[in-house]
Amino acid sequence: MHTVQKTCFLLGFMGSGKSFYGKQLATLVGMPFVDLDALIEQAEGISIAQLFEMHGEHGFRQIEQRYLVETGTYPPCIVATGGGTPCFFSNIDWMNRQGVTVFLNTPEHVLVARLIKQRKTRPLLAGVPDKDLETVVRKMLLERSSCYSKAQITLEPGENTTLFLENLIAKIKAYPG
């Protein structure tokens, strides 16, 4: 078993694999896994889409920040954030102080292929027609790039999950702080 002594926040665009890799990473390093969206849905008793509908994006981001900051009271864990989490209210700066941040830099074409199937569960993409999805994803990635670039570690997930996770663990362990 690998040992990681600090909370690790996984960042990236929706569909980048934060929850997928986060669960496996947590198992490998023997740490709890927290999916921020799932935490919010469980605590609030409604879906992320419903929260967006009820409160708008700004209201949702306030709720999201409250639960993100709550993770700071947990023992070290692996946290899969929402795609926009680091981009609001200086959340990226808070996460950088709390632990180590990892940006999953998943290629745009991979994101689009995944998101075309998941759009209904993604409030910011729900009404986007297939023909416009690539353009919308590209625009949102560009808007969020300055935020994602503040992550302490950036890695592109590859086809070999085991190799990717081993590389990720090595980078987290080597990160000073």
> pTM, whole model, 2 decimals?
0.95
What is residue 5's predicted lDDT score, i.e. its pLDDT?
83
* Residue 1 resides in a domain: no
Mean pLDDT, residues 128-148 taken together: 96
Is it the case that residue 4 has pLDDT exceeding 80? no
* Residue 132 resides in a domain: yes
54-88 per-position pLDDT tens digit: 999 999 999 999 999 999 999 999 999 999 999 99
Taking phi over 0 as left and psi of -120 to 50 as alpha, with beta for the rest, 82 belongs to beta
Measured CA to CA, the distance from residue 107 to residue 111 in angstroms comes to 6
What is the domain-level CATH number for residue 23?
3.40.50.300
- Beta strands (DSSP E) in 39-109 are 78-80, 100-104
Is it the case that residue 156 has pLDDT exceeding 60? yes
Residues 88, 93, 98, 100: is their CA dihedral positive or negative? positive
Tokens 């409030």 belong to which residue? 123
What is residue 93's predicted lDDT score, i.e. its pLDDT?
98
What residue numbers bound the domain in which 69 lies? Answer: 8-172
* Residue 24 resides in a domain: yes
- Tell me how many domains the chain contains: 1
Angle between helices 91-98 and 48-70 (to 10 degrees): 40
